[in-house]
Chains A and B, each alone.
Chain A
Amino acid sequence: MLELRNVTKTVGAAEHIRDVSLTLQHGSLNVLLGPTLSGKTSLMRLMAGLDVPTSGSVWFDGKDVTGMPVQKRNVAMVYQQFINYPAMTVYENIASPLRVAGTDRAKIDSEVRKAAALLKLTPYLERTPLSLSGGQQQRTALARAIVKNASLVLLDEPLANLDYKLREELRAELPKIFAAAGTIFVYATTEPHEALLLGGNTATLSEGRITQFGPTIDVFRRPNDLVTAKTFADPPLNTIVLKKSGSSFLLDGGVNLPVPAELAGIADTSYTIGFQPHHLSLARPGPSAVSVKAKVSVTEITGSESFVHLDFADVRWVMLEHGILAFEADQVIEVFIDPRHIMVFDANGRSAAAPQMLAA
């Protein structure tokens, strides 16, 4: 179990990590999700012991390891760049941490072959990394991390430099590999989509703070605050500021959104309403859906789906609809917001409540 207790890291005047407390269990997959410079790499360096926190402490299995150097910690790391020993074969690359540990030959051989099979590298064991594709190079780095049998494996955007399709394939395999290894995995990414595909737990980061930590799908569906919701949305989260008056959220100019039953008790004031692009639709999704007239600015087609960028009042929304939609620019269309899927945030950005889940 890895524990960060009130960890803060400042470098010069800049605060890279602000008061982070986090507990990660053995055998868990943990995603750090946040934009560039939100503190993902800084946090990983603290976890690894490459950096020492300015204040706070790091605990491993009930032992304070703050300040213990990385060499003594049994940590493996995989980076965005494909880092392998260029002069060694793939076999030797994978075997290198075992050789350092002084493992006997037979065990090294069986471990290397096991990891190579897991990562589909068996045909390439005698090649050197630079003669392989990017995907295979990164698999080699991953195999080395796995064979090390580290208690903590840190992956810093490991798929960012790979082709889209390769990324998709490795992403599907990684959770299986992780599950088999039983160590603590930490995976940093900028892409919400990637976090969802990996599953496990997700910690959303913003400006060096962890805004929320929990099972990935829960963080996605029930963000505690607006920052988390925005971090965990791709396409970007649709938002609008509405005034609550009795049983409705109102906007001059025609929006009248019924307040969900479980939120009936909240004060009459301004709220930021957020909803995902696929919860804005052309067809009325239910009797309580609210109709809104919005102006089309751009339509993007992905083949099976369309992203329609809409201007409404002073905000820009994205609607994700199935099928191919051909709208003229500046055309005004009627779209529907489903109040069952809205998230309501108060003036401080705190969630008034998470959206109610639909019964299946």
Chain B
Amino acid sequence: MEKTWNNKAWFLVLPVLVLVAFSAVIPLMTVVNYSVQDTFGNNVFFWAGTEWFEELLHSDRFWEAMLRNLVFSFIILAIEVPLGIFIALNMPKKGWAVPVCLVLMALPLLIPWNVVGTIWQVFGRNDIGLFGYYVNALGINYNYVQDPIDAWVTVIIMDVWHWTSLVVLLCYAGLVSIPDAFYQAAKIDGASRWAVFRYIQLPKMQRVLLIAVLLRFMDSFMIYTEPFVVTGGGPGNSTTFLSIDLVKTALGQFDLGPAAAMSLVYFLIILLLSWVFYTVMTNYDAER
């Protein structure tokens, strides 16, 4: 659809611009301001230049948190995307079961982040949690409060439980838009189930998959609430992701300067990712 050119439209955008200025631009400037100064409280600031940025980029703590983020995003993508495709492929395409499946799939998406965290925090406990208790009863030693691996498993399962639905719904939308004639033609051409997937379903899902992967990557890269509620970044620092580290620095230690520098770097990374997202999508559309 082409856009109609109309000067008055700018007035309609004005309130949003004002809102964004107050909600985003001004806080961001404050953060920039903090990131180049030092303070010991009482609103007394000293010029620090690029000191915090240098410290941050040479800090092992930052790079470890970053590595955790990347590993985490990679793992959940490696699980959620194939699992999402698999579920979408097996969802019914017509009949009464369609709305039922769609509602079931959408349910986890409707639950607020912190509630998801709380659910799993309780669910996974090995004394009163259903999951934790029975896993231990099966003879597997599981305790997310003590064992870093168990903590990771919990956070990952939680994310997969919460977000695979998004991938499923996107893929499902892509799948139902494929005309019947394609499946019929494939039957006639003697295509195997795999060939149908590889040459018809996957190409038709390409666009939505791209959206799903980029959305999930950005989202998981910014993960905060769930691990904060469940593990609080522990045990040790094993689930301390960038966002949790940031809050610890800013609020726990009240190091406003380093925290501001860190949030800026974090912000730039997200900005870069958004840019990649945007370019990939527009290039993809242009190619079509």
Contact = CB atoms under 8 A, between A and B. Distances in A.
Chain A bound to chain B: yes
Interface of A: 11, 45, 50-52, 67, 69
A146 B234 CA distance: 71
Q: Interface SS of chain B: helix, strand, loop or mixed?
A: loop
A51 B6 contact: no
Contacts, number: 11
Contacts of B4: 50-52, 69
Interface string B1-14: 01011100000000
Contacts of A11: 2
Contacts of B5: 52, 67
B8 to A, nearest CB: 10
A69 B8 CA distance: 12
Nearest to A49: B4
For chain B, which range describes its interface: under 10, 10 to 19, 20 to 34, or 35 or more residues?
Answer: under 10
Given A45-B2, A50-B4, A69-B4, 8 more contacts: A11-B2, A51-B2, A51-B4, A52-B4, A52-B5, A67-B5, A67-B6, A69-B6
11 contacts: A11-B2, A45-B2, A50-B4, A51-B2, A51-B4, A52-B4, A52-B5, A67-B5, A67-B6, A69-B4, A69-B6
A240 to B, nearest CB: 41
7 closest A-B pairs by CB? A52-B5, A51-B2, A11-B2, A52-B4, A51-B4, A69-B4, A50-B4
A141 to B, nearest CB: 20
A45 B6 CA distance: 16
A45 B1 CA distance: 11
A185 B27 CA distance: 57
Interface of B: 2, 4-6
Contacts of A67: 5-6
Nearest to B286: A12
A52 to B, nearest CB: 5
Contacts of A51: 2, 4
A328 to B, nearest CB: 34
Nearest to B5: A52
B64 to A, nearest CB: 47
A256 to B, nearest CB: 52
A330 B2 CA distance: 51
Contacts of A69: 4, 6
A97 to B, nearest CB: 21
Contacts of A45: 2
A50 B3 CA distance: 9
A51 B6 CA distance: 11
Nearest to B7: A67
A52 B6 CA distance: 9
A69 B2 CA distance: 14
A244 to B, nearest CB: 47
A89 B5 CA distance: 36
Nearest to B8: A69
Contacts of B6: 67, 69
A341 to B, nearest CB: 43
A45 B4 CA distance: 11
B287 to A, nearest CB: 15
A287 to B, nearest CB: 56
A42 to B, nearest CB: 9
Contacts of A50: 4
B271 to A, nearest CB: 27
A115 B179 CA distance: 36
A67 B6 CA distance: 8
A50 B4 CA distance: 7
B230 to A, nearest CB: 47
B56 to A, nearest CB: 43
A13 to B, nearest CB: 12
A114 B2 CA distance: 37
Contacts of B2: 11, 45, 51
A158 B2 CA distance: 22
Nearest to B3: A51
A57 to B, nearest CB: 14
Interface centre among B2, B5, B6 (most CB of A within 10 A): B2
A67 B5 CA distance: 8
A80 to B, nearest CB: 16
A11 B2 CA distance: 8
B3 to A, nearest CB: 9
Nearest to A11: B2
Contacts of A52: 4-5
B229 to A, nearest CB: 45
A67 B2 CA distance: 14
